[in-house]
Amino acid sequence: MGKRVVITGVPGVGKTTVIDGAREKLKEENIDYTSINFGTCMFEVACEQGKVKSRDEMRKLEQAEQKELQKTAAQLIAKIKENVIVDTHCTVSTPGGYLPGLPSWVLEELKPDIIILVETDEDQILKRRMSDTSRERDMEGYLSIKEHQEYNRAMAAAYSMLTGSTVRIIKNQDFLLERSVADMLDILR
């Protein structure tokens, strides 16, 4: 059985860069990780089941259906025997508040070994979000990003209590990408 690693981070934290950097180095060491985006996996399940045709339709599904899709996606990922990185959100900031990315019914199927929180300074996240014009994002302030990152730690602790997984905080500082890639490598190796 391979390692099952969940990786999370607020938008703009540079999660993808860290994952890509680590996977590249791992390839040189002949260590393979399948990388799965949890949201994409849910969407593909929904398409196959004929429930939606576009990602926009996902949000309009009823709560019970969303829950079922989350469960099925988690079961699919849990069947993978190789090392796997699950790219998802610890919590999503919605108008109704912070929504857990891995509620109990997902965790009970997914049973992650490690949950990684990629974090960085709120100021740097702000700058990255402001310079990223490719995505449309609701602009959050410094304090609100700080609140979100802190809340994610509390949520990760709850995930860990239920599953027994470890929780690792990786700091992705500007100009220090190599450092966070190295931290990530330590975990994935």
Binding site for a copy of itself (CB under 8 A): 67, 91, 94-100, 102-105, 107, 113-116, 147, 150-151, 153-164, 166-169, 186-187
Q: Which is nearer to a copy of itself, 48 or 138 (CB)?
A: 138
What is the nearest approach in angstroms of a copy of itself to the Cβ of residue 128? 23
Q: Which is nearer to a copy of itself, 25 or 67 (CB)?
A: 67
Q: Which is nearer to a copy of itself, 53 or 168 (CB)?
A: 168
What is the nearest approach in angstroms of a copy of itself to the Cβ of residue 100? 5
Q: Which is nearer to a copy of itself, 22 or 102 (CB)?
A: 102
Q: Which is nearer to a copy of itself, 50 or 96 (CB)?
A: 96
What is the nearest approach in angstroms of a copy of itself to the Cβ of residue 134? 27
Q: Which is nearer to a copy of itself, 107 or 125 (CB)?
A: 107
Q: Report the sign of the C-alpha dihedral through residues 41, 46, 50, 55, in that order.
A: negative
What is the nearest approach in angstroms of a copy of itself to the Cβ of residue 60? 17
CA dist., res. 24 & res. 45, Å (int):
28
Q: Are 117 and 169 in contact (CB under 8 A)?
A: yes
What is the nearest approach in angstroms of a copy of itself to the Cβ of residue 56? 20
Helix axes 177-188, 15-28, angle to 10 degrees: 60
What is the nearest approach in angstroms of a copy of itself to the Cβ of residue 185? 12
Tokens representing residue 63 in the block: 């709560």
